[in-house]
Amino acid sequence: MRKDDCYELGKVLRTHGLQGNLSVFFDVDNPENYQGLDAIFVEIQTQLVPFLVQNLHLKPNAVLLKLQEIDTIEQAKELVGCRLFLPLEVLPELTRDNEYYLHELVGCQIQDKTHGELGTVQKIYDLGGQDLFAFDYQNKEILVPINDQIISNFNRSKKQVQTDLPAGLLEVYLENN
């Protein structure tokens, strides 16, 4: 499986117990959508390695994951820090208008309410508490927070993002040399 055909589900945070269990973070709005997960890809040294899911238990602030063939704390320790992936075709259906997955923003044209066409979303940065999209404008990389106040509309068929950038955001990047 190629990484381009997958989306990042989350990350292995730490081991849990002595039997190879993992405490993982699912970077999704509804972790319960993944309760019946049968298999998952773990990124090990830039390669996606498939694992069958033996058990997945949702807790209030964590997801406990047991993978087949990971039976010791030593084996589990080797996976700490690894990113978790699933194929794009298993993404849950979006139910509301104007919803989107972050990876869908990449390659979209940016049409701003004030500035007009700005360019194309090049990359998504996940900074933990805040996701940002990046685009090039006048030979500068511009970083924009991803939220409903800034992204006013997403048009999947046109691959277009309509934004209402905060006053002065572009100028901050353009003034700094």
- CATH for 14: 2.40.30.60
Range of the domain at 86: 3-90
Strands 83-87 and 109-112: unpaired
pTM: predicted TM-score of the whole model, two decimal places: 0.71
Q: Are 44 and 82 a contacting pair, CB within 8 Å?
A: yes
Q: Residues 69-97: pLDDT tens digits?
A: 999 999 999 999 999 999 988 887 777 77
Report the distance separating Cα 142 and Cα 157, nearest Å: 25
Q: What is the pLDDT of residue 177?
A: 56
Query: What is the overall mean pLDDT for the chain?
Result: 91
Residue 170 sits in the same domain as residue 113: yes
Q: Count structural domains, the chain.
A: 2
- Whether 57 shows a pLDDT value over 60: the answer reads yes
| Residue 171 belongs to some domain of the structure | yes
Q: List, in sequence order, every residue forming a beta bridge with 116; answer none if it has no partner.
A: 112
Q: What is the pLDDT of residue 76?
A: 97
List the beta strands (DSSP E) in the chain: 6-16, 21-26, 39-44, 47-59, 62-67, 83-87, 109-112, 116-120, 123-126, 131-137, 140-145, 151-155, 160-163
Q: Which of 16, 84, 18, 78 is nearest to 48 (CA)?
A: 84
- Whether 137 shows a pLDDT value over 60: the answer reads yes
- Whether 158 shows a pLDDT value over 80: the answer reads yes
| Residue 97 belongs to some domain of the structure | no
Instruction: Match 């699933």 to its residue by tokens.
Output: 86
Amino acid at 164: D
Q: What is the pLDDT of residue 176?
A: 66
Residue 39 sits in the same domain as residue 117: no
Report the distance separating Cα 126 and Cα 25, nearest Å: 14
